[in-house]
Amino acid sequence: MPHKRLDPSSVAPEALEELAEALAAPGTAVLIGDDGQHVELPAALFEHLTRIVQLMREKRTLMLVPEDEEYTTQAAANYLGVSRQHLVDLLEDGEIPFHKVGTHRRVKFRDLVDYEKRRDSGRREALRTLADEVDEAGLYDASYTGED
């Protein structure tokens, strides 16, 4: 299995700069095989490649994870930034789908992302509600700068 981790140090900075320039040029990207065959790179792949090169230029390491990748409960908890026990509680409460491999729970990456979106949306809504309540109560002073 190929490595999922794409470390920017694995490509010379000069090569990343050259790639970035080529990807920024107008027109379509074409792959040329050893036999000289030309294959146009589809737009969706072109956009991802451009983003990957930009992130690598920023010295950011990337992970390529298929959405049906299965995580252990510890790996899933690490991804969400919660304790393993809290994750297990979420699984058992039906908040995140899972299945068992023998006696071990497995969680698909796509289900973690779906839960994360729901959780974050709920947090934003709660914050919006709180801000509205503070504003309605007259407790918010828009002119306050924090300086004395």
Q: Where are the domains of the chain?
A: 5-63, 70-136
> Is 60 exceeded by the pLDDT of residue 27?
yes
Query: What pLDDT does 44 receive?
Result: 92
Report helix, strand and coil shares of the chain as percent, to nearest 5: 50, 15, 35
pLDDT tier at 1 (50, 70, 90 boundaries)? Answer: very low
> Is 60 exceeded by the pLDDT of residue 78?
yes
Query: Would you say the C-alpha torsion 55, 56, 62, 66 has a positive or negative sign?
Result: positive
CA distance 36 to 52: 26
Q: What is the mean pLDDT of the chain?
A: 90
Q: What is the CATH number of domain 70-136?
A: 1.10.1660
pLDDT tens figures, 84-136: 999 999 999 999 999 999 999 999 999 999 999 999 888 898 899 998 888 88
Amino acid at 30: V
Instruction: State both tokens at 106.
Output: 């497995």
pLDDT tier at 148 (50, 70, 90 boundaries)? Answer: low
pLDDT tier at 76 (50, 70, 90 boundaries)? Answer: very high
